Amino acid sequence: MKPSLNYKNWLRRVTPRVSQEVRRVELAYIAGFLDGDGCIMLQLVPRKGYILGYQIRASIVFYQKQQYRSFLEGIKERLIYGYIRERKDNMVEYTIVGLKPVESVLTLLYPYLRLKKKQAQLALEIIRRIPKKVRASNKEKIDAKLLMELSSEVDKFALLNYSKRRTNTSEKVKEFLESHNLLNPVETDP
């Protein structure tokens, strides 16, 4: 189980012997790296085992050439969450996936972001509309009405991230929910 990540605990864990100003500079540097060589995404992901058919997946990805893998490992040590993987095209990705981890990291980096501030703000707004028990557990699910509302908000990421290949949209979610009578369930007499 991953530790609870709030700003004060994170600062103590990262650099316990360094001044607050140095910690802020470090967060600003990581935010700048995310602005330049990173991505914030919210996606609608089809899930066969889910009653509602779709899940909202939140992720943050940092990209770098394989020769600088240790740099990404240093960032991972500080942000705690996620994993690093090497791609076949000589690139390395440091990926953080999940509502709670993404919310925690974006909360830390938000004050320092410049280019990706709108994406971070939208991501945090959407994530925070999801009930806490759902964010904290992969077992809890949101209801159909909320999924439909939030999937329309997730569509806005296509514009902010200049997405060209996006195929899972709120329209697809709506089609699935309607075809399974999940948006407007039929009432039955007792």
Number of domains the chain contains? 1
**Which tokens is 142 given?**
């949101």
- pLDDT (0 to 100) of residue 131: 87
Evaluate whether residue 2 is within a structural domain. Answer: no
CA distance 57 to 62: 17
Evaluate whether residue 166 is within a structural domain. Answer: yes
Phi-psi region of 114 (alpha: psi -120 to 50; beta: other; left: phi over 0): alpha
Evaluate whether residue 1 is within a structural domain. Answer: no
Q: Which domain holds residue 48?
A: 7-179
The catalytic site residues sit at 36-37
Evaluate whether residue 165 is within a structural domain. Answer: yes
Evaluate whether residue 19 is within a structural domain. Answer: yes
pLDDT tens-digit readout, 42-69: 999 998 888 899 999 999 999 999 999 9
**Which tokens is 132 given?**
């806490």
Evaluate whether residue 138 is within a structural domain. Answer: yes
Percent of the chain with pLDDT over 70: 82
Taking the whole predicted model, whether its pTM rises above 0.85 is answered as: no
Return the CATH number at 129.
3.10.28.10
Q: Which residues pair with 55 in a beta bridge?
A: 45
Evaluate whether residue 78 is within a structural domain. Answer: yes
Q: DSSP string spanning 45-72?
A: EE-TT-TTSEEEEEEEEEEEEGGGHHHH
Using a 10 angstrom Cβ sphere, with 0-12 exposed, 13-18 middle and 19 or more buried, the burial of residue 124 is middle
Evaluate whether residue 184 is within a structural domain. Answer: no
